[in-house]
Amino acid sequence: MAALIISGGNPLYGKIKMQGSKNAVLPLMAASLVIPGKTTLLGCPRISDVFAMTDLLRKVGAKVLWQEDTLCIDASVVQPVVIGPEDTKSTRACILLLGALISRCRSAVMAYPGGCAIGKRPVDIHLAAFKQLKVCVTEGEQISCDASKLCGAEISLTFPSVGATQNIVLAAVCGRGVTRIHNAAREPEVAWLCRFLVQAGAKISGIGTAHLLIEGVERLHEITFSVPPDRIVTGTYLAAVMSAGGEIQMTNVCPEELTAVIRPIVQAGGAVRVLEKEIIAKKRGRLAAFDYLCTEPYPGFPTDMQSLFLALAATANGTSVIEEKIFEARFGVAKELARLGARIWVDGACALVDGQRTLRGNSVHAGDLRGAAALLVAALGAEGTTQLTGVEFLERGYENIWEGMSGLGADIRME
């Protein structure tokens, strides 16, 4: 079993370019199936979730080729073959193939999606919306969609689900008529998907707002698109420097997408300078505790950064309260942080963290992607050596993060 061996205490210094966004590129890859031709994605991250998605695209007939960090997809031929549980277990984003296949083939059959163990993660909002678009949805062992009567609808989401919003956009983009989505998710990854589709000939307005209007078009055309930078990876490096100390410059960043992440760091005493496409972050002594932080849909504080802030709170000066409002089971990492000496009490959706001056290295095991990143960040600032297993979770979303951290001066190696 692979493990990362991290000797804490080295401050981080230097400049590092952020990778393309996992959560943005997966919907773009699904969207490539709606385009009857070539899609070229520049700056695509080489991570296992992307590899899993390339397998899925190939399964339905697309040709997929890597040229360094460019992903070339040719979806001239797409067949709505049954996508079984062995294909859907590793990534949650496979659910987006439903919307794409509905648009392209008017039919889709797929097993229920897997992904990280951070909560129940149902798909009821996705399927209810499809039904409103006159898709005949049958649930059983698998989800079957017959979209021969697909047409536009007025849809009000009960919760602004990121995946459901993207799935509706995908299904409606080449459907008949006009679709309106109210209470749409405003996450940047929804906006990136819409911009991609508009560049390919789709008609979408209200991009970036909670009200999207999609006018179905006959067909989309070939496109080349740059994958935007990963805001959560940027947040991870930001957390790393606040844990280990030092000063780093992150390039290829969209700082405006990180406002809710930068704010609590600055309030806690970290120095963060925002330039046009760069962020310079410096640790100035021990961070103050986060009085109260709660995860919310964008533009609120992202759930994907919650575990990383739990790690920071573990050594902050004072008591922090962190509330998780999006995924109910996302405090799994607290138990592992405790093995490093963190004092965390979890009560339902709230965690109370009594900040310690230092954490101490130990062997820890990650159970999900962002939990793995949080353990890495905690270990970088801890005394002594940490052995981190569950590295395959890191590989789902981070491109060689240990090499990135090593390049900044961290003492970290893969074993």
Contacts with ligand UD1 by CB under 6 A lie at: 23, 26, 92-93, 119-126, 159, 161-164, 185, 187, 189, 302-304, 326-327
Distance CA 58, CA 75 (A): 9
The single-letter code of the amino acid at 200 is: A
Of 315, 410, 407, 400, the closest CA to residue 10 belongs to 410
Of 75, 87, 85, 82, the closest CA to residue 39 belongs to 75
Select 35 or 369, whichever has its Cβ closest to ligand UD1.
Answer: 369
Of 311, 186, 302, 296, the closest CA to residue 244 belongs to 311
DSSP class of residue 269 equals T
Select 189 or 399, whichever has its Cβ closest to ligand UD1.
Answer: 189
Of 240, 249, 233, the closest CA to residue 410 belongs to 240
Least CB distance to ligand UD1 at residue 146 (A): 20
Select 162 or 366, whichever has its Cβ closest to ligand UD1.
Answer: 162
Strand ranges inside 255-298, DSSP E:
271-274, 278-282, 293-294
Least CB distance to ligand UD1 at residue 368 (A): 10
230-to-21, 141, 315 alpha-carbon distances in Å: 4, 34, 26
Transcribe 198-220 into DSSP letters. Answer: HHTT-EEESTTSSEEEEE--S--
**Residues 113-149 as b or e (16 or more Cβ within 10 Å = b):** bbbbebeebebebbbebbebbbbebeeeeebbbbbee
Local structure of 344: helix, strand or coil? strand
Query: CB neighbours (10 Å) of residue 158?
Result: 10
**Residues 284-300 as b or e (16 or more Cβ within 10 Å = b):** eebbbbbeebbbebbee
94-to-83, 200, 371 alpha-carbon distances in Å: 9, 21, 21
Of 73, 66, 72, the closest CA to residue 100 belongs to 73
Distance CA 400, CA 381 (A): 19
Kindly list the catalytic residues. Answer: 116
Select 42 or 329, whichever has its Cβ closest to ligand UD1.
Answer: 329
Select 13 or 112, whichever has its Cβ closest to ligand UD1.
Answer: 112
Select 23 or 40, whichever has its Cβ closest to ligand UD1.
Answer: 23
109, two tokens: 């059959």
Least CB distance to ligand UD1 at residue 402 (A): 21
